[in-house]
Amino acid sequence: MNRDRKGKQKNGWLRNLSAALHMELREHRSSFIVYFTLRFLVIVMLVLQLFNRNYENVFLCGLTLLLLVIPSLVQITFKVELPTMLEIIILVFIFAAEILGEISEFYLMFPFWDTVLHTINGFLAAAIGFSLVDLLNRSEKTVFNLSPLFLAIVAFCFSMTIGVIWEFFEFGMDTLIGYDMQKDTVLHTIRSVTLDPAGRNVPYVIKGITETAVNGQELGLGGYLDIGLIDTMQDLIVNFIGAAVFSVLGFFFVKNRGRGRVAGSFIPRRKTADRDFLKIAMETAAEQENGDGEVGDLLSAEKPEGKIPDQEE
């Protein structure tokens, strides 16, 4: 009995969550159109990859479908309202990184693609970090009150932490699984103390490198191959720029409390009671259950008493 009851409760919670997600996705027309369009494109790509038997890309498509739901799920779970502009940018960012970047190989076709995405990531991470602290700062349950400057600093540090963790992830995937997420860079000049003939801590400079050979075979690169260091540092630098830009915007937004239109388009706010869709879904389900129960009671009451104890005869 307890197992059946738990199963019914779990199914009921999943139904309520599904209903809340449906309401959340349709709340803003513009973000819903973007979500529906991107979801359709991902499904088309998934089918194509199945036909090509490229199951790694099939997994990426499935992951993308899941990630596209995350913004709505976050709004329902944490009862926050993402501005429409922020939600659209997050959806497009996910699609651009996974489908265009990885599967369509935009990272190779357009060298600036990775740089642009990391800049946007720094900006978005700062916006999320800023909003988290701002919501806590304005909550009646917390006892601290950070100044606009400290809010901006926390947002900046949060964004940089996310950027560093992502670089850890890329390094781990390259080292442990054999991927090449830290893209290589062709150089024509290198400086290394390891190559110093005297064995001292003095950089030895080699300029004008036009070829690189491995085991006597030239690679045809036109220079020396750097294995990921420059890519990592460039990613962190553009993440720094994106985080710094939003932190400045957020500082003036809080200082003037809501007058900054640009920052206001990216800072989530607490949901109002009439937009708490999970609560609405639960209340609606409860009302329906109570309604069914009342109807059942009325039907039972209307049954003739003489027909009930047939088995006792």
Mean pLDDT throughout 262-286?
A: 78
CB 270 within 8 A of CB 80: yes
Query: How confident is the model over 168-189, as pLDDT tens digits?
Result: 998 998 889 888 888 888 899 9
Place of tokens 């009150």: 145
Calculate mean pLDDT across residues 210-226. 87
* pLDDT tens for each residue of 91-101: 999 999 999 99
Pick the residue with more confidence: 11 or 86? 86
Burial degree of 20 (CB within 10 A; 0-12, 13-18, 19+): buried
Q: What is the pLDDT of residue 304?
A: 46
What is the pTM assigned to this prediction?
A: 0.76
Give the three-state DSSP class for 185.
strand
- Please name the residues in contact with 203: beta carbons below 8 A apart, sequence gap of 6 or more: 191, 192, 193, 196
